[in-house]
Structure 1
């Protein structure tokens, strides 16, 4: 990413739940066309993600998670939200800290948004005293898999899951944090 790109990260608040939901739904609609049913993506994902983010942002345990919104500066206007990350400590997990969401809106992919959000998640996890992060990516989401592997994530297994009313396979990737 060019240093001239005016990208900033800010902590999300409860008031950002609708924005997070809209970005999440837009990302799924663009990314999961071949992987999830069209009816779910066209008719249900917006309401489903809205309920999800409202509940998540209001849930207790906010100190165990970090949610950041990436914004691009727009001359003469409010910043434009272009992506977000959600990372959460999972005390009972053998895999470490869960990088639960990492989304760069389709029109803003390839400019370093995802990498910058991932680096912030890694810093946060390291600051929490953690040694590893993990995430799940849908089998068949080739662009995301390639992105994670380029960033040094390693495949560590898979699990069956259900999304949008269909059975899917979620691939688990892990990333060992270097000591600071």
Structure 2
């Protein structure tokens, strides 16, 4: 007999910084293997993401930020982290709320975690009185682009960026929130 698992979302805390970093690095290592240098993904990304999330979760302004962790909760009460989202209000931004991170771990893609996390970020932004979200996705990340477009996000421009020691292009997508 198999046990059913439920997908739940919970707010991340400062203590979750190592977990967020590990999930972020694992996601990049799987997703960006053809987009970023192998040396960066194999030797640097873990430490780089650990420093990033430690600083981010300790930074002031948490009232402008939403960080949620998606977990599969089985009947045995075991909780397995499967992804996370980070959204942040950007005062003065013409684009609205930044959906800065949305990651579902590769082994758990397709179970609805990304969609649930995105919907939670949209609901949070709407509750903040915002009318739009935006995100950046690396040019060449075809699966993420297809996912965002299926969810109603629209391409709105490209910007140069620098990641993993190389110059890249980040595509900006926007999502208009219904106000009803």
Q: TM-score normalised to the size of structure 1?
A: 0.96
Superposed, which structure 2 residues align to 1:49-68 within 5 Å?
Answer: 49-68=49-68
Aligned-residue CA RMSD (Å): 0.9
Deviations 1:61-94 (A, max 9, x none): 0000000000001332530000000000000210
Q: Is 1:24 equivalent to 2:19 in the alignment?
A: no
In structure 1, the partner of 2:47 is 47
Alpha-carbon distance in 2 for matches of 1:11, 1:68: 4
Alpha-carbon distance in 1 for matches of 2:41, 2:60: 29
Alpha-carbon distance in 2 for matches of 1:117, 1:133: 14
In structure 2, the partner of 1:15 is 15
Alpha-carbon distance in 2 for matches of 1:96, 1:78: 37
In structure 1, the partner of 2:167 is 167
Kindly indicate whether the alpha-carbon contact (under 8 Å) linking 2:5 and 2:75 is maintained by their aligned counterparts in 1: no
Alpha-carbon distance in 2 for matches of 1:40, 1:74: 35
Counting matched residue pairs gives 177
Superposed, which structure 2 residues align to 1:1-150 within 5 Å?
Answer: 5-150=5-150
Moved more, 68-77 or 168-177: 68-77
Alpha-carbon distance in 1 for matches of 2:93, 2:14: 26
**Match of 1:9, SS?**
strand
**Match of 1:90, SS?**
coil
Show structure 2 runs of 5+ residues with no match.
none
Q: Following TM superposition, where does structure 1 have runs of at least 4 consecutive aligned residues deviating by more than 3 angstroms?
A: none
